[in-house]
Amino acid sequence: TPCNLTRYNKELSMVKIPSKTSAKYLEKKFNKSEKYISENILVLDIFFEALNYETIEQKKAYEVAALLGDIGGQMGLFLGASILTILELFDYIYEV
Protein backbone atom coordinates (compact mmCIF):
# COMPACT_ATOMS: atom_id res chain seq x y z
CA THR A 1 0.00 0.00 0.00
CA PRO A 2 1.35 3.43 -0.84
CA CYS A 3 2.11 5.73 2.03
CA ASN A 4 2.39 9.48 2.12
CA LEU A 5 4.85 11.16 4.42
CA THR A 6 4.77 14.89 5.00
CA ARG A 7 7.30 16.41 7.33
CA TYR A 8 7.33 20.11 8.12
CA ASN A 9 10.29 21.68 9.86
CA LYS A 10 9.84 25.18 11.14
CA GLU A 11 12.27 28.00 10.95
CA LEU A 12 11.53 31.25 12.68
CA SER A 13 13.04 34.63 11.97
CA MET A 14 11.78 38.00 13.06
CA VAL A 15 12.30 41.59 12.15
CA LYS A 16 10.63 44.74 13.41
CA ILE A 17 8.15 46.01 10.90
CA PRO A 18 7.23 48.32 9.43
CA SER A 19 10.08 50.51 8.31
CA LYS A 20 9.42 54.26 8.24
CA THR A 21 8.70 54.21 4.50
CA SER A 22 6.39 51.24 4.61
CA ALA A 23 4.68 52.57 7.76
CA LYS A 24 3.61 55.70 5.90
CA TYR A 25 2.41 53.63 2.96
CA LEU A 26 0.41 51.29 5.23
CA GLU A 27 -1.04 54.24 7.19
CA LYS A 28 -2.48 55.61 3.97
CA LYS A 29 -3.56 52.25 2.60
CA PHE A 30 -5.41 50.99 5.71
CA ASN A 31 -6.21 54.36 7.26
CA LYS A 32 -4.71 53.26 10.60
CA SER A 33 -2.08 54.74 12.90
CA GLU A 34 1.58 53.72 12.87
CA LYS A 35 1.21 52.28 16.37
CA TYR A 36 -1.78 50.16 15.30
CA ILE A 37 0.11 48.93 12.24
CA SER A 38 3.26 48.01 14.19
CA GLU A 39 1.20 46.08 16.76
CA ASN A 40 -1.25 44.36 14.39
CA ILE A 41 0.38 43.84 10.99
CA LEU A 42 2.14 40.57 10.31
CA VAL A 43 4.14 39.51 7.28
CA LEU A 44 4.09 35.75 6.92
CA ASP A 45 6.18 33.99 4.27
CA ILE A 46 5.66 30.28 3.83
CA PHE A 47 7.87 28.49 1.34
CA PHE A 48 9.33 25.10 0.53
CA GLU A 49 12.91 24.59 1.64
CA ALA A 50 13.52 22.17 -1.23
CA LEU A 51 11.48 21.57 -4.38
CA ASN A 52 12.50 17.97 -4.99
CA TYR A 53 10.71 14.74 -4.20
CA GLU A 54 11.43 11.03 -4.39
CA THR A 55 9.10 8.40 -5.80
CA ILE A 56 9.63 4.73 -5.00
CA GLU A 57 7.76 2.17 -7.10
CA GLN A 58 7.71 -1.61 -6.97
CA LYS A 59 7.51 -3.61 -10.17
CA LYS A 60 7.62 -7.32 -10.87
CA ALA A 61 11.12 -8.42 -11.77
CA TYR A 62 9.91 -10.90 -14.39
CA GLU A 63 6.42 -11.24 -15.83
CA VAL A 64 4.90 -14.68 -16.45
CA ALA A 65 4.40 -13.90 -20.15
CA ALA A 66 8.07 -12.98 -20.53
CA LEU A 67 9.09 -16.19 -18.75
CA LEU A 68 6.95 -18.34 -21.06
CA GLY A 69 8.25 -16.47 -24.09
CA ASP A 70 11.85 -17.03 -23.05
CA ILE A 71 11.24 -20.73 -22.34
CA GLY A 72 9.51 -21.14 -25.70
CA GLY A 73 12.34 -19.37 -27.48
CA GLN A 74 14.95 -21.59 -25.83
CA MET A 75 12.94 -24.71 -26.63
CA GLY A 76 12.65 -23.66 -30.25
CA LEU A 77 16.38 -22.98 -30.45
CA PHE A 78 17.33 -26.35 -28.94
CA LEU A 79 14.73 -28.25 -30.97
CA GLY A 80 15.95 -26.62 -34.17
CA ALA A 81 19.57 -27.36 -33.28
CA SER A 82 18.67 -30.98 -32.47
CA ILE A 83 16.85 -31.49 -35.76
CA LEU A 84 19.76 -29.97 -37.68
CA THR A 85 22.19 -32.23 -35.82
CA ILE A 86 20.13 -35.33 -36.66
CA LEU A 87 19.90 -34.28 -40.32
CA GLU A 88 23.66 -33.67 -40.41
CA LEU A 89 24.22 -37.18 -39.00
CA PHE A 90 21.94 -38.70 -41.68
CA ASP A 91 23.78 -36.68 -44.34
CA TYR A 92 27.16 -37.90 -43.01
CA ILE A 93 25.99 -41.54 -42.93
CA TYR A 94 24.55 -41.20 -46.45
CA GLU A 95 27.81 -39.71 -47.77
CA VAL A 96 30.01 -42.43 -46.20
Q: What is the pLDDT of residue 2?
A: 64
Nearest to 76 by CA among 86, 66, 84, 64: 84
Q: What is the pLDDT of residue 71?
A: 93
Nearest to 41 by CA among 18, 20, 22: 18
Apex 45 CA angle, 5 and 55, nearest 5: 25
Domain boundaries, the chain: 20-95
Q: What is the pLDDT of residue 1?
A: 54
Q: Do residues 26 and 35 touch, judged by C-beta distance below 8 A?
A: no
Q: Which helix (H) or strand (E) holds 54?
A: none
Q: What is the pLDDT of residue 69?
A: 92
Apex 3 CA angle, 51 and 12, nearest 5: 40
Q: What is the pLDDT along the chain (96 residues), one digit of tens a residue?
A: 567 777 777 777 777 777 888 888 888 888 988 888 888 888 777 777 777 878 888 888 888 899 999 999 999 988 888 888 899 999 989 887
In total, the chain counts a number of residues equal to 96
CA pair distance 34, 27, nearest whole angstrom: 6
